[in-house]
Chain A
Amino acid sequence: MNPTPTVFLTDDDPAIRDAVGLLLRANGLAVETFASAVDFLESDAVQRPGCLLLDVRMPGMSGLDLQKRLQEMSCRTPIIFMTGHGDVPMAIRAMKAGAFDFVEKPFQAQALLDRLHEALALDAQERRRQARRNEVAARMALLSPREREVMERVVAGQYNKVIAADLGISISTVEIHRKRVMEKLQAASLSEMIQMLALVGDE
């Protein structure tokens, strides 16, 4: 249940879809092509791992419109824009709006492939982080309110004695809570627990 990272190639020009599709497949990448932004939005590709190779200038919904739409949907699939020579202002807008990169048509295969691999790696990493974040969040949901209080103070670097005084409980009780927190979060050490919390805290 871990689908192959795919390049989602979206361009209104069938020749580009065909040629670039062939090129990427010849270089060992999984490719799916879409003739318009709407086709892409309506597919399940939005959810799947991969990256988007997107033409800036398309009739109907343009590449920039699609980028905006995906951001509204909190879809983090990295986008590489394909632009022409006259489209530099559009490319700048796309980059400002958070695009991964842009390539000018016609492009060098290797440069494109390099950027695509980077984008796919970023997506994979992002997805892993997301998966881990989800996992940690699920484990944290198991903590009781008291355990959560203790955990927050431990992470903040307070001594057990101080925590006990703060919460009005005995030091041994604090130690029991601490142990249970480590068990529930499946953290091997204090530093791992801190990392987990940092990950969730990003959200």
Chain B
Amino acid sequence: MKLDHRVYPALFSLLYIATGLLWLLLDDLALTVWLGGAAPALLPAVMKNAGFMLVTGGLLYGLLRAQVHTTQRTRRQHEAIEEQLRCARDELDNRVQERTAELLAINQTLERQIATRIQMEFALRDSEERFRQLAEHIREVFWVYGIVEERILYVSPAYEEIWGRPVHGFHDRPLDWLEAVHPDDRLRIQEAHVDKHRLGHFDVEYRIVRPDGAIRWIWDRGFPVRDETHQIYRIAGLAEDITARRLAEDQLRRQQVDLARMSRLSLAVELASNLAHELNQPLAAIVAYTQTCLTLLRQGHTDPRELMGTFEEVINQGLRVGEIIRHLRTLVRRQAAIQTPLDINDLIRAVIHYAQLELRQARIDLRLELAESLPKALADDLQVQLVVLYLIRNAIEAMSQMPEGSRQLTIHTFLSGADWLLVTIHDTGHGLSPEAAERLFQPFFTTKPGGMGLSLSVSRSIIEAQGGQLWAKPNPEGGVSFYFTLPVYLTAYTA
């Protein structure tokens, strides 16, 4: 049971008054009054005591009441302050939490940013590292040339090894590299260097002379580096020591020349053997005829006029020998080819005219795709005609087993580069096995039952004697294409 605080002063005051009155009623004077019944004089004293009790009781109440009020007010104030404090703390807590969350978020973002940043830095350092590793460890010299600066900006350490010159030489003398170029190549390289400025491209092979006097072959090539406006502002390049490759190539070339000479030699041997047989036949006939005549004349019973037919045979066989020798001369004349300017298209048309009958009989669809206004070629007219004829005949034979209507012979002429005329002879025949493609140009190789296997090897010899090349490639859609090049007659072209 809870009593209001305001009740306590009243209770205390009433209790005080009641106790005081009770004590007054029971004191000597009052008892005397009550018991004695007299002494009215005494009554005012009793009333005065009772009045005193009431007044002090009232004062006590007032005091207590005030005290309780004060206490209560103070407590209420305390409570209010506490309440305020609590509220304030709660609010603070909230604010702190919010702030913390915000901070956390910011922190995370920052962390992420930092991580990215670190990664980027690592990546950058990595790519730099990789670049450095690459540039400094490749055998090739990596260089960067500044167009505006007009000098080499960077050159990798391989330079020192290949050139035998210090890298820092570039700082002092920007043309250090050019000084190293072999005197015979220097002019050419200077020209290439000028072009490099203009085109951004650079692809040259040259020799350098190392300080120790050794000569090395260098393959140097550069590529343009462009800025945002697409202007070339740098050239990056690689220079490679190709001395070993160059030597191997030289050796290979020498071997090929030897091989060509040898195969020509074996060709000559075979030709000689064939020729001996070819010549022996009519010679043997001539000798036999004349010996017959001698025998008959010696026997003396033959009319010399009966021998006229035999003598005519002797003449025929003699002419046959002459024919063989004439044929031989045209074959061997490639030794001293007479090179004259010739129109390759006219030449092809002339051969086609000559081979027209063969083409018609073989039911071959001929297509000429001859480039207009070609420069003249410098070659031996007759010999090139022979090659074209051989190649056309080869195509005719290659297509003889194919169904009619699918036999198509296409002859193209092109200008290849500035210096070469390219002729292709394309058939739709039985094609080439890889083995055949390899041996195609060897003397006495043939896929034809009746062939000698000489025409292609002779053709190649002829074209090579003109300075050109002859090769064959199987077509992806079947058949074979033969290609040969002839040098352009330059003065006629430029004049």
Interface residues of A, Cβ cutoff 8 Å to B: 13, 15-16, 18-20, 22-23, 26-27, 57, 82, 84-87, 105-109
In the bound complex, do residue A19 and residue B295 qualify as a contact, i.e. CB atoms below 8 Å apart?
A: no
Report A5 CB to chain B, min CB distance, Å: 19
Chain B CB count within 10 A is highest, among A19, A26, A106, for: A19
Q: Which of A15, A18, A87 contacts B277 (CB 8 A)?
A: A87
In the bound complex, how far is the Cα of B283 from the Cα of A13, in angstroms? 12
- CB contacts (< 8 Å) of B288 on chain A: these are 16, 19-20, 22-23, 106-107, 109
In the bound complex, do residue B313 and residue A18 qualify as a contact, i.e. CB atoms below 8 Å apart?
A: yes
Report B66 CB to chain A, min CB distance, Å: 158
8 A-B contact pairs sorted by A residue (CB < 8 Å): A15-B281, A19-B287, A84-B276, A84-B280, A105-B283, A107-B287, A108-B287, A109-B287
In the bound complex, how far is the Cα of B283 from the Cα of A15, in angstroms? 10
Which residue from chain A places its CB closest to the CB of B269 in the assembled complex? A86
In the bound complex, do residue A105 and residue B289 qualify as a contact, i.e. CB atoms below 8 Å apart?
A: no
- CB contacts (< 8 Å) of A57 on chain B: these are 277
Cβ proximity bits B270-303 to A, threshold 8 Å, 1 near / 0 not: 0011001100111111111101100110010000
Assess whether B385 is interfacial by the CB under 8 Å rule.
no
Interface of A is mostly: helix
In the bound complex, do residue B286 and residue A84 qualify as a contact, i.e. CB atoms below 8 Å apart?
A: no
In the bound complex, do residue A19 and residue B292 qualify as a contact, i.e. CB atoms below 8 Å apart?
A: yes
- CB contacts (< 8 Å) of A86 on chain B: these are 272-273, 276-277
In the bound complex, do residue A19 and residue B289 qualify as a contact, i.e. CB atoms below 8 Å apart?
A: yes
In the bound complex, do residue A106 and residue B280 qualify as a contact, i.e. CB atoms below 8 Å apart?
A: yes
In the bound complex, how far is the Cα of B285 from the Cα of A105, in angstroms? 9
- CB contacts (< 8 Å) of A26 on chain B: these are 292, 295-296, 299
Which residue from chain B places its CB closest to the CB of A11 in the assembled complex? B281
Report A143 CB to chain B, min CB distance, Å: 53
If A22-B289, A109-B291 touch, whether A82 touches B284 (CB-CB below 8 Å) is yes
In the bound complex, do residue A13 and residue B310 qualify as a contact, i.e. CB atoms below 8 Å apart?
A: no
Task: Name 20 extra pairs, CB < 8 A, besides A18-B313, A57-B277.
Answer: A15-B281, A15-B282, A15-B285, A16-B284, A16-B285, A18-B285, A19-B286, A19-B313, A20-B288, A23-B291, A23-B295, A26-B296, A26-B299, A84-B273, A85-B280, A105-B283, A105-B284, A106-B283, A106-B288, A109-B288
* Ranked 5 nearest A-B pairs via Cβ: A19-B288, A86-B273, A105-B284, A109-B291, A106-B287
- CB contacts (< 8 Å) of A16 on chain B: these are 281, 284-285, 288
In the bound complex, how far is the Cα of B292 from the Cα of A15, in angstroms? 14
Report A157 CB to chain B, min CB distance, Å: 55
